[in-house]
């Protein structure tokens, strides 16, 4: 398939359209509340969380405290390869603003830095076949190595020429990158980093958002969405999952400069949405989450339900048994 005819399989859904609108709304509000300024301390803190989470997804066992110590130049006891992974990841994330998101040469250079000293083929496309395994079961067999250079070139050209919204386009890119699996190792961390780079090129807020942190807490959902898109030969399921992660990250973010003001605003915005979906009904937590389009229960409780209860806007139908399976919620 030539670059002129290359078009990743994807179909738009109403849910994806709504998620893009909600994300854009949150970005606008955060920008206004922070006056466009990002606190340097929070930038570093979120960058460290991003590195820790992305490596943890790849089974790096170092804790957030250990990763922080390594980045601050302190000596720790640990697996040398895992320590090397942290140093490499920090080096390439530190170079992130200088990378051209549309350059295959820069992609290869970034992989060289990310995987230096960890694999022999760092900085080069793989020379052999690779598969993604769940235990002993093959869940995805990547295309033959001989097709990889052209497939990556086509993917980059498609991204530059496509008029799809960047939020959707970058998620499609992420899925297609993982499908091609261009490297012998490091595909997951490179795919997630390049996704952030593409989004950051669109809106610099995304250079500092720890999206990987939420992906780490939802790994099963992440890999399930990859598998579902593989089976359907359509990236829509993966795109929707990633957009939900981005929205939850924005709702949960502490990267803005005016943290306290932003938190108050987010609580107000979230509780207002909860009250709208409740109406005059009595609903379970699952029913409210479905109406809000939220699948991550901790995020729902932290950003929606708990603030509404604490502000006296919502009450439980069985207050003496908060964890009852028959629990419902209603407006006060």
Judged by DSSP in three states, 115 sits in helix
- Asked if pLDDT for residue 70 goes beyond 60, the answer is yes
Task: Kindly indicate the confidence band of residue 201, based on its pLDDT and cuts at 50, 70 and 90.
Answer: very high
pLDDT attached to residue 4? 55
Helix H or strand E segment including 191: helix 187-202
Judged by DSSP in three states, 318 sits in coil
Whole-number percent of the chain with pLDDT over 90: 58
- For the entire predicted model, the pTM comes to 0.75
φ, ψ (nearest 5 deg) of residue 65: -65, -40
- Longest distance between any two alpha carbons in the chain, whole Å: 65
Portions of the chain given CATH number 1.10.3290.10: 14-251
φ, ψ (nearest 5 deg) of residue 103: -105, 120
Superfamily of domain 14-251: Fido-like domain (1.10.3290.10)
> Residues 193, 96: contact at Cβ < 8 Å?
yes
Portions of the chain given CATH number 1.10.10: 259-331
pLDDT attached to residue 269? 60
**100 against 275, higher pLDDT:** 100
Q: Is 296 exposed, middle or buried (0-12, 13-18, 19+ CB in 10 A)?
A: buried
Cα gap 216→230, rounded to integer Å? 21
- Asked if pLDDT for residue 149 goes beyond 70, the answer is yes
List the beta bridge partners of residue 38: 256
pLDDT attached to residue 69? 95
pLDDT attached to residue 34? 65
Task: Kindly indicate the confidence band of residue 68, based on its pLDDT and cuts at 50, 70 and 90.
Answer: very high
Q: What is the arithmetic mean of pLDDT over 123-135? A: 83
pLDDT attached to residue 134? 61
pLDDT attached to residue 268? 44
| Cα–Cα distances in angstroms (integers) from residue 99 to residues 53, 109, 188, 200, in the given order | 21, 9, 18, 11
**257 against 138, higher pLDDT:** 138
pLDDT attached to residue 263? 41
**For residue 78, what are its two tokens?**
């640990």
- Asked if pLDDT for residue 205 goes beyond 70, the answer is yes
pLDDT attached to residue 36? 57
**160 against 300, higher pLDDT:** 160
**What integer best gives the mean pLDDT of the chain?**
86
Helix H or strand E segment including 97: none
Q: Tens digits of per-residue pLDDT, 221-256?
A: 888 899 899 999 999 999 999 999 999 888 876 544
pLDDT attached to residue 281? 86
CATH of domain 259-331: 1.10.10
């Amino acid at each position: 398939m030539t670059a002129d005819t290359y078009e990743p399989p994807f179909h738009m859904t109403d849910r994806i359209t709504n998620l893009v609108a909600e994300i854009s709304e949150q970005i606008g509000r955060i920008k206004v509340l922070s006056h466009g300024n990002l606190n340097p301390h929070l930038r570093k803190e979120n960058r460290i969380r991003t590195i820790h989470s992305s490596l943890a997804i790849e089974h790096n066992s170092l804790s957030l405290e250990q990763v922080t110590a390594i980045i601050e130049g302190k000596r720790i006891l640990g697996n040398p390869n895992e320590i090397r992974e942290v140093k490499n990841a920090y080096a390439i994330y530190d170079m992130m603003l200088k990378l051209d998101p549309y350059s295959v040469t820069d992609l290869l250079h970034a992989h060289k830095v990310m995987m230096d000293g960890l694999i022999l083929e760092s900085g080069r496309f793989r020379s052999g076949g690779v598969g993604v395994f769940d235990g002993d079961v093959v869940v995805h067999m990547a295309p033959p190595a001989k097709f990889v250079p052209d497939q990556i070139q086509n993917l980059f050209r498609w991204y530059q020429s496509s008029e799809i919204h960047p939020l959707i386009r970058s998620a499609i890119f992420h899925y297609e990158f993982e499908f091609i699996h261009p490297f012998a190792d490091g595909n997951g961390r490179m795919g997630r980093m390049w996704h952030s780079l593409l989004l950051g090129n669109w809106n610099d807020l995304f250079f500092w958002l720890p999206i990987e942190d939420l992906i780490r807490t939802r790994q099963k959902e992440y890999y399930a969405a990859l598998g579902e898109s593989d089976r359907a030969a359509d990236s829509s399921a993966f795109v929707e999952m990633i957009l939900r992660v981005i929205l939850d990250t924005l709702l949960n973010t502490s990267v803005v400069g005016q943290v306290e003001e932003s938190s108050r605003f987010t609580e107000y915005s979230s509780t207002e949405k909860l009250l709208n979906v409740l109406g005059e009904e009595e609903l379970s937590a699952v029913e409210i989450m479905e109406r809000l389009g939220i699948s991550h229960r901790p995020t729902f409780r932290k950003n929606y339900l708990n603030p509404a209860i604490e502000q006296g806007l919502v009450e439980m139908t069985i207050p003496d048994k908060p964890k009852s399976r028959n629990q419902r919620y209603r407006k006060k």
